[in-house]
Structure 1
Amino acid sequence: MRAKAGVFDFPSRRPAERLGVAVVSELVELIITGEIPEGELLPPEGPLSEHFGVSRTVLRESVKRLEEKGLVVVAQGRGTQVARSGSWNMLDPVVLSALIDNDESLGVLDELTIVRGNLESAMAGAVATRRTAEELTRIEHALEAMRETQHESDSFRQADVVFHLTIMELSRNRLAENITKRLYRRALESSRYHGMGYEGAFRSTLDEHALVVDAISRRDVEAAERAMRDHIVTSWQRRRLEAPHQEAEL
């Protein structure tokens, strides 16, 4: 463990729920970073309670939260074992944030981009299949809002987000929309996801969005899917920062 008993000096009047949130957050990070590896047992209740400065009741509730997130498996008589990463609920906000925040290699963001690209591609294709004239107008207005703010970074970024959320909503695929929103919004909170700026960023982004709108207007499902996937993947590749170990090798 990174800290010794007594380091966590929380006020005695702090509600147990707040203590539990702190414990869960710390344990999630220890598991995500591999400081407590997959397959390893968590320390017994006594040492863990002392380490975090909380009661055993708070600790048990915290471990229960970890179990709900798929991070641990509680086995009677064996203890609490860290689950394999394939069992983790990576759409859980706490787990996903920890994965992204500790993603020094950018591997998680690479995977997120692939998943997001495939889901949004399918949703763009669905919109192209059955969009109405009114829905096409909404999409065109979202693109126009991007054009009008292309010289204002923050406003342009927000208009970009609105464009993608509009496509998601109009797809009528609630499951894909829900999953993609969770991934997208958490990624947007990471400076690593925004990456580095590059020359012609506004122009290339507008051109790629325009291809999506054009395909949807023509009801060309395959073109809409391809345009959306290509945009999401290539835009990430253009702004992707080199990971620290890669920079050291140059």
Structure 2
Amino acid sequence: MNRSEPIVRRKLSDEVFARLKRLITSGELQPGDDMPSERELMERFEVGRPAIREAMQALSNMGLVAISHGERAKVLQLTAKSIIRQVDGAAKIILSSSRDTLEHLKTARIFFERGMVREAAEKATVEDVQRLKATVAEQRAARGDSETFISADMKFHTQIATISGNPIYVAVSEAMLGWLKEYHTEMLIWTGKEQFTLTEHEEIIDRIEKKDADGAEKAMIKHLERSRALYVMNSEK
């Protein structure tokens, strides 16, 4: 073997992080458990406080622990949502620096949601449909209040994802909606486009209720293709 493969000495905090992560992934520490105190960890690993704090922050960034001021960190239950939330910051930076990336996200959302709404049409129960109708009623009552109206809009799409029973669908849907919300303009209110949204949501519910997967997909594409113009870069507002 001719290729050079030097051994790189790891930072103390990296080694502490690896050991703490092993305690969690091995099951020695369970979701809901308190992490050992900083002093206990310093004595156990024979390192200083900075290495412990840096390692704990890395665990927090991964969604493995929750750090609260004045209390011991707690081990978290890893979920699809907590994993995907880890990329929130990076995703928003990429979106803010590239108009093309925002357009790619809009297109990806349409591709993703057309599949989700087909599953919803196949799997929705009477209770699922009633929940969707209640959310549209919330939207109708919130006309003129952009923040509440948009929140109900996001809830509607997340509910469709939830019908699938797949938590990864729900996590991805919430992430996409959260990223896009940063670029939602107020034109929804002053151009009267609220009623378009309400009518389109009602059409989607009608297709879901009738178990019409093809019709639901067409209604969703129509809705998202029209509304994609509501999401623009700050420089365009």
TM-score, normalised to structure 2's length?
Answer: 0.58
Please point out which of 90, 97, 103 is paired with 2:92: 97
For residue 136 of structure 1, the aligned residue among 129, 133, 137 is 129
| Deviation of the 1:90 alpha carbon | 11
Give the Å deviation of 1:230.
2.2
> 1:220 maps to what in 2?
212
Cα distance between partner residues in 2 of 1:181 and 1:243:
22
2-structure distance, mates of 1:229, 1:186: 19
Summarize deviations over 1:31-59 as a string: whole Å, max 9, x none: xxxxxxxxxxxxxxxxxxxxxxxxxx9xx
User: Does the 8 Å CA contact 2:180/2:231 hold for their aligned counterparts?
Assistant: no
Equivalent-residue separation in structure 1 for 2:170 and 2:163 (angstroms): 9
Residue 164 of structure 2 aligns with which residue? 171
Q: Closer, same or farther in 2 for the Cα pair 1:90/1:177, shift >3 Å?
A: closer
Question: Deviation string for 1:96-138 (max 9, x for gaps)?
Answer: 01111212xx211111111111211111111111211111111
Q: 1:110–1:91: structure 2 CA closer, same or farther, 3 Å change rule? A: farther
2:85 and 2:175 in contact (8 A); partners too: no
Alpha-carbon separation, structure 2, partners of 1:219 and 1:203: 25
What are the superposed Cα offsets for residues 187-207 of structure 1, whole Å, 9 maximum, x if unpaired?
Answer: 21x2xx213505221111111
Deviating above 3 A after TM superposition, structure 1's stretches of 4 or more consecutive aligned residues are: 240-244
* Aligned mate of 2:224, from 228, 232, 238: 232
Task: Flag the 1:165–1:243 CA change in 2: closer, same or farther, 3 A.
Answer: closer
Contact 1:113 1:236 in 2 (8 A): yes
- Give, in whole Å, the separation in 1 of the partners of 2:154 and 2:85: 22
Q: Which residue of 1 aligns with 2:184?
A: 194
Q: Which structure 1 segments of 5+ residues have no match?
A: 1-15, 18-56, 69-88
Percentage of matched positions with identical amino acids: 22
AA of the residue aligned to 1:146: Q
Structure 2 residue ranges without an equivalent (≥5): 1-12, 15-50, 63-83
Corresponding residue SS for 2:117: helix
Residue identity matched to 2:176: L
Residue in structure 1 matched with residue 24 of structure 2 by the alignment? none
After TM superposition, give the deviation of residue 91 of structure 1 in Å: 7.8
Output the CA distance in 2 between the equivalents of 1:129 and 1:186. 28
**Quick one: which of 153, 170, 181 aligns to 1:160?**
153
Aligned to 1:194, the other structure's residue is in SS state coil
Per-residue deviation, residues 170-227 of structure 1 (Å, max 9, x unmatched): 1223333222222221221x2xx21350522111111111111111111100111121
The 1:155/1:195 distance shift into structure 2, 3 A limit, reads closer
For 2:85 and 2:131, locate their aligned partners in 1 and report how far apart those are by CA, in whole Å: 32
Structure 1 counterpart of 2:144: 151
Contact 1:143/1:163 (<8 A) preserved: yes
Matched residue count: 160
Report the RMSD for the aligned CA atoms in angstroms: 3.1
Q: 2:115 is matched with which residue: 102, 118, 122?
A: 122
Residues 132 and 159 in structure 2, CA contact (< 8 A), matched pair in contact too: yes
- SS in structure 2 at match of 1:200: coil
